[in-house]
Amino acid sequence: MKNLPKAIFQISPLILLFVGAVLLGRTLSQPTRAAAAPLEPAAAGRPAMAGTWFSCGPIVRTGVFSYPAPGRIHVLCTNSPGSGVYYFGFKGNDSATAARMLSIMNTSIATGKPLYVYYVDVDGGSWGCGYANCRPIEGVEVGP
Q: Which domains does the chain have, with CATH numbers?
A: 50-142 (2.40.50.110)
Average pLDDT for 31-52? 52
Q: Residue 29: pLDDT band by 50, 70, 90 thresholds? A: low
**Other C-beta atoms lying within 10 Å of the C-beta of residue 54:** 19
The DSSP letter of residue 56 is E
The CB density around residue 88, as the number of other CB atoms within 10 Å, is 27
Residue predicted with more confidence, 119 or 25: 119
pLDDT at residue 41 is higher than 80? no
Cβ-in-10-Å burial (0-12, 13-18, 19+) of 104 comes to: middle
Convert the pLDDT of each residue in 51-93 to its tens digit. 688 999 889 999 999 888 888 999 999 999 988 999 999 998 8
Average pLDDT score over residue span 101-113: 93
Say whether pTM exceeds 0.85: no
Beta bridge partners of residue 116, listed in sequence order: 55, 141
At residue 1, does pLDDT exceed 60? no
Residues linked to residue 88 through DSSP beta bridges, in sequence order: 75, 135
pLDDT number for residue 19: 58
On the question of pLDDT at 109 being above 80, the answer is yes
Look up residue 88 and give its amino acid.
F
Which H/E stretch holds residue 55?
A: strand 52-56
